[in-house]
Every structure is written in C-alpha cells, then in structure tokens.
Amino acid sequence: MNKKIKICFMGTPEFGANVLKKLIENYTVVLVVTQPDKKGKRGSELLFSPVKELALSYDLPIFQPEDIRNDFNMMKEYDFDFLVTAAYGQFIPLDVLHLAHFLTLNVHGSLLPKYRGGAPIQRAIEAGDKYLGVTIMRTILKMDAGVMFKQSKILLEDDDTFATMIEKLSKKGAEDLLEVIDKFYSGEEIEGIHQNVDEISFAYNIKKEECLLDFNSDALTLHNKIRAFNPNPLTFFNYKSESYKVYKSEVIENDDLVSPGTIIDNNKKLVIKCMKNALSIKEIQSPGKKAMDISSFLNGKRDLFKIGEIIR
C-alpha cells in the first residue's frame, strides 16, 4: 500500500470495477472516468455503470464524457502519477495518454496479442480455449497494441462462464497491475515485451444475431457459446413463436439419426439433437419469467417440448 501514488482510473463494466477496487485499497484514486449513464428499459430511469456505482460508494470524483476525444479538460485539473484503463469503452486520445506523470497502463482480459478488442473473454470461451489470461500493457493510440509488462494465465474450468472469468481475470489483473505500478514508481527498470504481429487476433463485440442457437452446429460449439454469453448478452432459441434464453448447458454424446434440433429427451431434462452429439439445457428462461433449472421449468408443462418436435 502506498497512498502517495495517485491514480486516475478509466473503466466501465464489472471487470473495470474489480480493478478499481484494488486500486482504491492500495493507492489514492483522484478521479474516476466512466461511460455516460444508460437509460433503463422504462426510459425514465438511468442505469449507472458498475465502475460509477463503486466510485460513488467511496465518494470519489466522477467524470462521464460523451466523447473523451473532444471533452477531457476536467482531467487536466487533476494531478496523477498513473492513468489506468480497464474496459473503458472509448478510444483515448494522445493528449489524455500524456496526462500521467509516469505512463498509462491498461488491464486487458486476454493473452495478447490474441483477442485484441472489446470482447476478449467471451471470444476466448466461445473458441474453447483451455487457458484464458490477462495482460498489463502500455496504452497507446492503436487498440491493445502497446508493449506488455506482465501476463498471467488462468485455466478455464468446465463450469466457468463469462461471469466467473470476469471475476477471476480482473482480480488477477489487478494484482499484476499493482506489481507493475510499484516497480515503475520505485524507479525499477521494466523491459516491455513487444507483441508478435503474426499472432494477432481480434475479439469483436457480439452482435445480437450471434446469440441465436443453431442446432445445425455441433453441441460443443453451442455449449461454449452459452458459457461465453452468460450473463450477457445470453443465447436463445425460438420455439412456438417464443424466445427462450439459455444460461447453462451440457454436452451429451449422442449419435441418433434424427434431424438437428429434434427434442430427444424431456423427462426432467431437455435434450436437443445437434449436428454432432446433443445439447442438454440445464437452465432456461421463458419470456417475462425468471431463469429456472430445467426440471422445475418442465414441471407441469406437458404441452411444451415434446419428444420428436424440431426446434428450427
């Protein structure tokens, strides 16, 4: 802990909030920059980002520019040693990157140079990677392209989802970040590692149409997507003019010669044939209802999900 070290933090979602909490506990955070509030479903209410919620709980100054490229004068009013970014959500201009006395550091949820971009954790889970990771790097004008100061790997367990990996990676990233900050502040020389351009891949933001489960895929592909999109934006399938969101699943070995999408078991479970193997839906949400385990959901619903029906 060194409260002499002054930090300006830029972040928005839960990943950023976990990093911010560690910074607050160890340094002096002078300003928090986060995305503008969003309108709720009703339109009249405003939704605060997890980073803003945390900053308010510690009574920290908050800045929420619509476009940081054109509105950053407030940041000039604060004196800070490091500018830290973690899933902020906007491109940061060079004038802002140069405001820190030392440098600007980014906590990125991937093993760079893999998965540059806005959805690194989700894309890695979706791809079925065995290990996910977090990188502490220098923030530069080019997206996630700066030199790297530290990387850590974390095994993707069978029951991990986007939600659990946010928690694991952000907390490990925060620990690594503190180590890097302390070394820079003490004057220790840290040699940054340049990213291998031949290994670059991109983690593009998820589009709504990607969330639809296509049972013409193999079951493992769908299972990984369900894990990657839980809790946000969530996968779904359409059945009898309704959309059902899927939270959890399991791959079942199956070589039945039936069409993909065919319901092959509905006895306290919902098993759907895929192009390869089958997908057992473990937790589901019907329109306007809360998510439920599949056994409770199917109880008393004999008119739904009959064996032999095909989900297109």
Task: Please give the domain boundaries of the chain with CATH numbers for all domains.
Answer: 6-199 (3.40.50.170), 208-298 (3.10.25.10)
Q: Is the pLDDT of residue 41 over 80?
A: no
Tell me what percent of the residues of the chain surpass a pLDDT of 70. 99
Each residue of 266-301: pLDDT tens digit?
999 999 999 999 999 999 999 989 999 999 999 978
Averaged over 56-71, what is the pLDDT?
96
Contacts of 240 (CB under 8 A, 6+ apart): 304
Q: Do 110 and 172 form a contact (C-beta atoms < 8 A)? A: no
DSSP 3-state assignment of 264? strand
Averaged over 141-159, what is the pLDDT?
95
Rounded to the nearest integer, the mean pLDDT of the chain is: 95
Of 68, 76, 78, nearest in space to 29 by CA: 78
Q: Do 276 and 219 form a contact (C-beta atoms < 8 A)? A: yes
Q: Is the pLDDT of residue 40 over 70?
A: yes
Neighbours of 184 (CB within 10 A): 18
Cα–Cα distances in Å, from 294 out to 139, 211, 226, 290?
A: 45, 20, 15, 12
Amino acid 45: pLDDT: 81
Q: d(Cα 145, Cα 194) in Å, to the nearest integer? A: 9
Return the amino acid letter for 52.
K
Amino acid 270: pLDDT: 96
Each residue of 110-138: pLDDT tens digit?
999 999 999 999 999 999 999 999 999 99
Name the β-bridge partners of 28: 6
Amino acid 42: pLDDT: 67
Of 138, 112, 107, nearest in space to 196 by CA: 112
How many helices, marked H, and strands, marked E, lie in the chain?
8, 15
Look up tokens 């709980």; give the residue. Answer: 57
Each residue of 75-96: pLDDT tens digit?
999 999 999 999 999 999 999 9
Task: For residue 43, name the pLDDT band (cuts at 50, 70, 90).
Answer: low
Longest alpha-carbon distance in the chain: 70
Each residue of 220-262: pLDDT tens digit?
999 999 999 999 999 999 999 999 999 999 999 999 999 999 9
DSSP string across 124-176? HHHTT-SEEEEEEEE--SSTT-SPEEEEEEEE--TT--HHHHHHHHHHHHHHH
